[in-house]
Structure 1
Amino acid sequence: MTLLKSWVSSANTANHPFPLNNLPYGVFSVGDDDPRCGVAIGDMILDVQAAQEAGIIGFGDIFDVPYWNDLMEMGPTAWTTFRARLTEILAEGSKDQADAEPFLVAQADATLHMPLAVSEYTDFYAGAQHARNMGAILRGSPDLPANWLHIPVGYNGRASSVVISGTDIRRPNGQMKAPDAEVPSFGPSKRLDIELEMGAIVGTGCDMGQPITVDQADEMIFGYVLLNDWSARDIQGWEYQPLGPFQGKAFGTSISPWIVTAEALEPFRAPTPEREKELLPYLDGTKDGLYDIELEVLMQPEGADKPTSLAKTNYSRMYYSAAEQLCHHAVGGCGMSSGDLLGSGTISGPTPDEYGSLMEKSWAGREPFTLDTGETRGFIEDGDTLTLRGAARGDGYTIGFGDCTGTILPALKFPV
């Protein structure tokens, strides 16, 4: 596929993240107006609610709420029909240009909000390089846990802590234990980290007790966002045995503002890697489950003029796909809902410049890295801004997600 031309001229350049090929879904407001659904096209946003009320889209009364869940629940046929109508409206030479043009809003004038109401949040641990690195750091061996090559390992997180890009994250307080201490201590996390992930958004759910195949799971995924699963490694390290992450992961998860649809990413499908051990048949699917999406992590200290690029990697580095994760999630009878968010797990490549967490980048703080400012870091300090970026690159066009950014605020004194 090549670049599709739009009458919105800013969408017609090879490196712009929001060409007609993309049409990602978000929620925005201008001034004191209420948040509403919008579609990014070039430097503009099409006000979908206003366009619908004017009779341009003609897709029923589903955009009178500030989230995309109502469309998600309608299923893949509706998703395709709606996206085709948007493409028809915004394409170069469209007969709808004069009617739709008044409903364009400059992105520069808009405030972006959560694009969906998150029903549940599950985070996986599905990057082999990251899992091996963590084993080497924490256990002295890169060997994977016995179950890792057989199932997508995950845990249930907190939907209430999922926030839109640009939301400040408060450094968490918690309980932790130094290796040489007899008892734990309480206070602000000293090993605050990020995790570079992709988030898959479930569009249509399945009933409790009803398993789904990998191919069915693939059809249920509405779209993808960038996801930063902020992690307090010292709190997590003390609490996670035997039941896994809890408070060290519950204080904040940031997502990028635009939902890039699975349909927009279809040309970028990539295969999962060759399996080190054959998966059980229920995890077999007929489609390539990953995507060729370039990813980057940046850090900008408070007062710095520009960020430092810490890592560049690719979503295709993952071992398990989102469809495999969703299939495994439901296979035991867990009902899945429209608006469920699945974190991929940290995405890392084979070399340090592809590591998707600071735990790996600094090897648990033992090998601090140097920023462009000359400052060194092992973990995140107060005032640091972390940004995730992602893009799929086609023939003369780019599919972007918008930055996933958060700034760390100091911990609150507790008790107050």
Structure 2
Amino acid sequence: MTPSSGHPATVVIDVPEQSLYGTGNLPYGVFSPLGGAPRAGVRIGDWVLDLAVLLDDDVFTEPTLNAFMAQGHQRWAEVRTRIQQAVAGPVPGKAVHAHEAVRMHLPFAVADYVDFYASEHHARNVGRIFRPTAEPLLPNWRRLPIGYHGRAGTVIVSGTGITRPRGQRKEPAADQPTYGDSHRLDIEAEVGFVVGTGSSLGVPVPSTDFSQHVFGVVLVNDWSARDIQAWEYMPLGPFLGKSFATSVSPWIVPLQALEAARVPGVAQDPQPLPYLREEQPWGLDIQMSITWNGHEVSRPPYRTMYWSPSQMLAHMTANGARLRTGDLYASGTVSGPDVAERGSFIELTWNGSEPVQVGRQTRRFLEDGDEVVITATAPGCGGNRVGFGEVRGRVGRSVCGSFSL
């Protein structure tokens, strides 16, 4: 018996053998059924399970996962085991909803947002674009994970429309800047890490404590206005060119689901300072895919990242900065060594000088009506792959306060 309308007393969940959302994954999200309020759920196959009903636990009636995440690593492991045991047999019919019939929400209240610059391939490409006659990597790049502090209030869930940002831009040959719509709107395909449990102010978090603090992983699209960014970023780095929208996937894949995806990181030279050295490998073999108006244009491999998520966490707190439940930090653009592995369009089109074919059209940067979808999978236990869902966004512009294509 499989779930159906009418909520039978109990049902047996039918999961296809090669599903990206089997019992080895069980990503968490916040959903609302038709006519219902947002609440916590877990995805299995093509179904969403209402955790408050399945586990009889009021913490899952909250409109975000923050209260659950704050309960800590041991609690996360206990709940995961309870879910796996529950779905092995009949489950309450009222707990089961078809995935296509529910509305997904931002799964956590974002406390802080930090974005890193952890791909050497991306950093080298951008360096060559903007400093063609100089060394592409700045002297500090291999010494520490470079990052900037983003804007938590503009982190949005997948499917939310992206309003084309406005700001100051200055063309290289122009004498003065102008103000208006960004003409070089871009994406950055990234992997994000959601902090579950916080830390004390003044106490650095070592890389060995990564799995005790980080609840899980999301996909991120850090939308970027390259013309606004190019004019403003010296001397203090990204600001308005980045802060207008950052999209995240609605499903948080728990770290426990990624044990089979763990790989050694790339060789680091020079050897990092002691606080950045790792005792355990936290490279992740995540294969990403970027489609532009339905056409795949790139497949960035996260396993090629220079700095690992545990090193990013250690550096982010090295000065005593505290962690809070709901903090989000992202990897920065994921790019591999090949052209077809570049995770941003500024790289893929080489700053617009090499347009790419998108179906029957060519593109340099994003035009109104364009839609970008980022997906990813990783090795899972038992040979199945683990899915991360998608992060999707379509570009429009604000017309008299409303979104329009």
* Preserved CA contact (<8 Å) 2:198 2:325: yes
Q: Could you tell me which residue of structure 1 aligns to residue 299 of structure 2?
A: 312
Alignment partner of 1:25 out of 14, 25, 28: 28
Instruction: Provide the rounded CA distance (Å) in 2 between the counterparts of 1:175 and 1:207.
Output: 39
Q: Could you tell me which residue of structure 1 aligns to residue 391 of structure 2?
A: 404
Alignment partner of 2:130 out of 135, 138, 142: 138
What secondary structure is seen at the aligned counterpart in 2 of 1:23?
coil
Instruction: Provide the rounded CA distance (Å) in 2 between the counterparts of 1:413 and 1:131.
Output: 38
Deviations 1:197-228 (A, max 9, x none): 00000111111111111011332110000000
Tell me the CA shift for residue 8 of structure 1: 1.7
Instruction: Provide the rounded CA distance (Å) in 2 between the counterparts of 1:411 and 1:208.
Output: 40
Tell me the CA shift for residue 253 of structure 1: 0.3
Instruction: Provide the rounded CA distance (Å) in 2 between the counterparts of 1:276 and 1:347.
Output: 20
Q: Could you tell me which residue of structure 1 aligns to residue 46 of structure 2?
A: 43
Tell me the CA shift for residue 367 of structure 1: 0.5
Alignment partner of 1:112 out of 92, 104, 108: 104
* Preserved CA contact (<8 Å) 2:53 2:94: no
Structure 2, unaligned runs of 5 or more: 1-10
Matched length: 389
Q: Could you tell me which residue of structure 2 aligns to residue 205 of structure 1?
A: 198
Q: Which amino acid aligns with 1:24?
A: P
Pairs within 5 Å for 1:13-412: 13-14=17-18, 16-51=19-54, 57-58=55-56, 60-91=57-88, 94=89, 97=90, 99-140=91-132, 141=134, 143-300=136-293, 307-372=294-359, 374-394=360-380, 395-412=382-399
Instruction: Provide the rounded CA distance (Å) in 1 between the counterparts of 2:46 and 2:248.
Output: 20
* Preserved CA contact (<8 Å) 1:134 1:142: no
* Preserved CA contact (<8 Å) 1:188 1:411: no
Tell me the CA shift for residue 7 of structure 1: 4.4
Tell me the CA shift for residue 248 of structure 1: 0.3
Tell me the CA shift for residue 411 of structure 1: 4.8
Q: Which amino acid aligns with 1:340?
A: D
Q: Cα 1:366–1:142, aligned 2, differ >3 Å: closer, same or farther?
A: farther
What secondary structure is seen at the aligned counterpart in 2 of 1:62?
helix
* Preserved CA contact (<8 Å) 1:213 1:285: no
Tell me the CA shift for residue 266 of structure 1: 1.2
Q: Could you tell me which residue of structure 2 aligns to residue 304 of structure 1?
A: none
Q: Could you tell me which residue of structure 1 aligns to residue 5 of structure 2?
A: none
Question: Does 1:8 find its partner at 2:13?
Answer: yes
* Preserved CA contact (<8 Å) 2:53 2:92: no
* Identity, % of aligned positions: 41
* Preserved CA contact (<8 Å) 1:386 1:406: yes
Tell me the CA shift for residue 279 of structure 1: 0.3
Q: Could you tell me which residue of structure 1 aligns to residue 6 of structure 2?
A: none
* Preserved CA contact (<8 Å) 1:89 1:100: no
Q: Which amino acid aligns with 2:171?
A: A
Instruction: Provide the rounded CA distance (Å) in 1 between the counterparts of 2:97 and 2:318.
Output: 44
Deviations 1:320-360 (A, max 9, x none): 11111111011101111111000101000111100000000
Instruction: Provide the rounded CA distance (Å) in 2 between the counterparts of 1:309 and 1:207.
Output: 44
Deviations 1:125-163 (A, max 9, x none): 110000000000011145311110010000100110000
Q: Could you tell me which residue of structure 2 aligns to residue 54 of structure 1?
A: none
User: What's the TM-score once normalised by structure 1's chain length?
Assistant: 0.91
Instruction: Provide the rounded CA distance (Å) in 1 between the counterparts of 2:340 and 2:194.
Output: 28
CA RMSD of aligned residues (A): 1.5
Tell me the CA shift for residue 100 of structure 1: 2.5
Q: Cα 1:411–1:363, aligned 2, differ >3 Å: closer, same or farther?
A: farther
Tell me the CA shift for residue 49 of structure 1: 2.0
Tell me the CA shift for residue 412 of structure 1: 4.5
Tell me the CA shift for residue 30 of structure 1: 1.9
* Preserved CA contact (<8 Å) 2:165 2:181: yes
Deviations 1:365-402 (A, max 9, x none): 00001112x20001000000000000013444121111
Structure 1, unaligned runs of 5 or more: 1-5, 52-56, 301-306
242-251 or 396-405, which deviates more: 396-405
Q: Could you tell me which residue of structure 1 aligns to residue 3 of structure 2?
A: none
Q: Which amino acid aligns with 2:191?
A: M
